[in-house]
Amino acid sequence: MMQVQRLAFAGLALLAVLGCNRPKSVHSVAKAAPVQVPGGTLTLAFTRKVLGPLALTLDGVRIPVKQGPKGGKTLLVTGIAEGRHRYFIESNRDAFGPDQGDLDMSATQGVYYVIFAQRFESVLYGKNAPTPPAEGLPGVSAILK
């Protein structure tokens, strides 16, 4: 009887250890890109598909984001000048962690970040408030694909 209790306790302990082992969440990790990112390019890879519409602000200026009706997992921003920049992303249907950050852009090497994304409807009733058109920066373009 004592041996059966020990085996049962060992089995429960093993299940507890396996149940507590949860995957690590991904938060804006600057890491080596799977492909070479060209200079002047910011690539934000989301952990899940982003439905959008997605709003991007770069150095306090709203950048228009082109996207298809089904959204995408990667936001590609090209034409960013050399130097230090601050970005902010937001959406009525998605939440990001973190949703803003700083980046140091060089002429020879772009920046690649992985951003945690999850579905989040911020407007429960009615329709989304219309947003004014984005001003944009000369030479900077963004596409969600």
- CATH number of the domain at 75, please: 2.60.40
Average pLDDT over residues 82-111: 93
Which comes out higher in pLDDT, residue 10 or 111?
A: 111
pLDDT at 23: 44
5 pLDDT above the threshold of 90: no
In a domain, 19, yes or no: no
Domain count, the chain: 1
CB proximity list for 141: less than 8 A, separation 6 or greater? 63, 64, 66, 77, 78, 79
In a domain, 139, yes or no: yes
CB proximity list for 92: less than 8 A, separation 6 or greater? 53, 121, 122, 123, 128
In a domain, 17, yes or no: no
Instruction: Locate all alpha helices (DSSP H) within the chain, ordered by sequence.
Output: 2-20
In a domain, 7, yes or no: no
pLDDT at 36: 86
Average pLDDT over residues 92-118: 92
Give per-residue pLDDT as tens, 11-43: 555 545 545 544 444 444 455 556 789 999 999
In a domain, 6, yes or no: no
Average pLDDT over residues 39-53: 93
> What integer best gives the mean pLDDT of the chain?
82
Which comes out higher in pLDDT, residue 6 or 53?
A: 53
In a domain, 86, yes or no: yes
Alpha-carbon distance of 116 to 71, in angstroms, equals 16
pLDDT band at 1 (very low <50, low <70, confident <90, very high): low
In a domain, 3, yes or no: no
pLDDT band at 142 (very low <50, low <70, confident <90, very high): very high
Q: Answer yes or no: are the C-beta atoms of 14 and 52 closer than 8 Å.
A: no
Q: Answer yes or no: are the C-beta atoms of 68 and 91 closer than 8 Å.
A: no
- 125: domain range? 26-144
